Amino acid sequence: VLKESTKEIIRSTAPVLEQEGERITSLFYKKMFQDHPELLNIFNQTNQKQGKQPRALAGTLYAAAVNIDRLESLLPAIRQIAHKHRSLNVKPEHYPIVGKYLLMAMREVLQDSPDIDDIIEAWEETYGVVAKVFIDTEAAMYAEAEEKIGGWRGFREFTVIKKEQESRVITSFYLKPADEGPLASFEPGQYISVQVMPDYSKPAHMRQYSLSDSPDKDYYRISVKKEEGMQGHEDGVVSNYLHEKIEAGDTLNLTAPAGSFTLKENSDRPLVLIAGGVGLTPLVSMLNTSSVRNPDRPVTFVAAAKSGELHAMDDHVRSMAEGSSSVRYAVCYETPSVEDRRHPNLLKEGLVDEELLSDAVPDKDAEYYFCGPVPFLRKVNGILRDWGIPESRINFEFFGPSQSI
Ligand code: HEM
């Protein structure tokens, strides 16, 4: 689809893009939000502040540039991003806006290159190709989400039917459609976006939360960690609003379930679910689902937390392990209290390491799913690679924009 000369320019300017990628995308967002403040309703302003989102966009364009001859190798990554876009209600008409400001920023940063016009033209063409792939992928996803029984497009109003504290910092919200219509099923591991307006004079905020219960219920459940600001960061705008202002009877706008970090149920191999902190939410959904649909499939659930008071859903997982011979449960506390040390499933004190996983996992020939903070993901991924687990059986999810581990 791309001319040979275009590809050549992309290949030769990709290293510059990598070096200057963050400057380009930071400039791009600044200008775009100046001219299109309505887009502030879609983008996560906290991720903008921390530079995470510009990095993710730069990373994708760079990957597209390097792989321009075989874009199909990027399809899993493209689908993951497209799920996120669909969940955020990104529309085809947004693509030319993003493209315009991206190219404008590139021109500004690369203005001293002698062949700047050719470079911009090549990137314009490439952006067009990549944007079309996204638009088409997302169109199919919107249609699928809408055509499902109980499905919908865009936002749907949900009523909070129950709020339940799960740990000192994690609270679950049980949600039912306000229109009392049917509720779309989902794949365990998927998430929804919640849109809130904590301050009516400011743009709306959207956040993604994993669905933390199985899909066979007549409600959705999300379990939200109250993000307390640390080291100069502000408190989490949305999580604090949900914890402090939203009560049973209030309503929230949700987009339909999305995401490609999902439980593959066509395997008989044992399942190993490894959770770091609030990363347990999609994994509890997987555990609950597997125990209903495939009760004999062996599941090992490993929960790592700072301590017992920060450990959510412990009673639930513990009672599942006590009630079923196919569920094993291992707990790892970084700094356990005296009482925490009496936890019957406590396997290790300190951080997750090879020793813990070796002790916890009875049969390494398993399917692995893990979710948690980046250092945790890196650690677990490294251990599984060392064990020789093939990539196809290693599944993990970032909370926040994807990064390289
Ligand atoms: C997220 C790439 C177009 C809005 C992302 C992510 C990537 C990406 C890599 C991070 C995904 C993740 O967190 O897993 C791209 C590319 C585009 C494109 C390559 C064009 C070809 C758009 C457009 C919009 C948009 C047109 C809407 C105006 C967003 C938003 C997020 C996102 C709001 C989430 C950001 C956050 O939560 O901080 N995109 N995107 N993107 N994208 Fe795009």
pLDDT tens, residue by residue, 84-99 = 999 999 999 999 999 9
Residue of 95, 101, 220, 333 with catalytic role: 95
- Write out the two tokens for 120: 């911009």
Which range has the worst mean pLDDT, 22-26, 61-65, 174-178, 336-340? 61-65
DSSP state of 174: E
User: What integer pLDDT is reported at residue 400 of this predicted model?
Assistant: 56
Residue ID of nearest Cα to ligand 1 atom 38: 44
Under the banding of pLDDT at 50, 70 and 90, the label for residue 52 is low
Residue ID of nearest Cα to ligand 1 atom 12: 401
Q: Count Cα neighbours of 190 within 13 Å in the Cβ-side half-sphere.
A: 22
| Active site (annotated) includes residue 138 | yes
The mean pLDDT of 110-122, rounded to a whole number, is 91
Residue of 101, 127, 138, 241 with catalytic role: 138
Concatenated DSSP letters of 247-286: -TT-EEEEPPPB-S-----S--S-EEEEEEGGGHHHHHHH
User: What integer pLDDT is reported at residue 402 of this predicted model?
Assistant: 54
Residue 225: beta bridge partners?
170
Atom of ligand 1 nearest to the CA of 99: 20
pTM across the whole model: 0.93
The rounded Å distance from CA 42 to ligand 1 centre is 10
Q: Report whether pLDDT(315) > 60.
A: yes
Residue 292's CB: how many other CB atoms inside 10 A?
11
User: What integer pLDDT is reported at residue 167 of this predicted model?
Assistant: 92
Residue ID of nearest Cα to ligand 1 atom 15: 57
Pocket lining for ligand 1, CB < 6 angstroms: 39, 42-44, 47, 53, 56-57, 60-61, 80-81, 84-85, 88, 90, 94-95, 98, 130-131, 134, 401-402
User: What integer pLDDT is reported at residue 398 of this predicted model?
Assistant: 77
Strand order in the sheet with 394-397: 346-349, 327-333, 299-305, 271-276, 367-371, 394-397
Which range has the worst mean pLDDT, 68-72, 254-258, 262-266, 307-311? 68-72
Residue ID of nearest Cα to ligand 1 atom 21: 131
Q: Measured on CA atoms in the order 366, 186, 74, 16, is the torsion positive or negative?
A: negative
**Alpha carbons 120 and 100: distance in angstroms, whole number:** 11
Which one of 35, 90, 239, 396 would you pick to mutate in the ligand 1 pocket, going by the greatest count of ligand atoms within 8 A of its CB?
Answer: 90
The rounded Å distance from CA 81 to ligand 1 centre is 7
Which range has the worst mean pLDDT, 52-56, 123-127, 241-245, 264-268? 52-56
User: What integer pLDDT is reported at residue 76 of this predicted model?
Assistant: 86
Q: Report whether pLDDT(26) > 90.
A: no
The mean pLDDT of 204-230, rounded to a whole number, is 92
> Residue with structure tokens 């251990």?
383
Task: Tell me if 328 sits within 8 A of 231, measured CB to CB.
Answer: no
Residue ID of nearest Cα to ligand 1 atom 37: 44
When mean pLDDT is compared over 11-25, 36-50, 69-83, 161-175, the highest value belongs to: 161-175
The rounded Å distance from CA 377 to ligand 1 centre is 22
Q: Report whether pLDDT(173) > 80.
A: yes
Which one of 81, 124, 136 would you pick to mutate in the ligand 1 pocket, going by the greatest count of ligand atoms within 8 A of its CB?
Answer: 81
Atom of ligand 1 nearest to the CA of 97: 26
Atom of ligand 1 nearest to the CA of 56: 9
Residue ID of nearest Cα to ligand 1 atom 32: 85
Instruction: For residue range 368-380, list pLDDT tens digits in order.
Output: 999 999 999 999 9
User: What integer pLDDT is reported at residue 399 of this predicted model?
Assistant: 65
Q: Report whether pLDDT(48) > 70.
A: no
CA nearest 302: which of 343, 338, 282, 273?
273
Burial of 21 (0-12, 13-18, 19+ CB in 10 A): buried
Q: Report whether pLDDT(259) > 70.
A: yes
User: What integer pLDDT is reported at residue 233 of this predicted model?
Assistant: 62
Q: Report whether pLDDT(47) > 70.
A: no
User: What integer pLDDT is reported at residue 201 of this predicted model?
Assistant: 65
φ and ψ at residue 116, rounded to 5 degrees: -55, -40
Atom of ligand 1 nearest to the CA of 102: 20
| Active site (annotated) includes residue 339 | no
User: What integer pLDDT is reported at residue 50 of this predicted model?
Assistant: 61
Residue 360's CB: how many other CB atoms inside 10 A?
21
User: What integer pLDDT is reported at residue 75 of this predicted model?
Assistant: 87
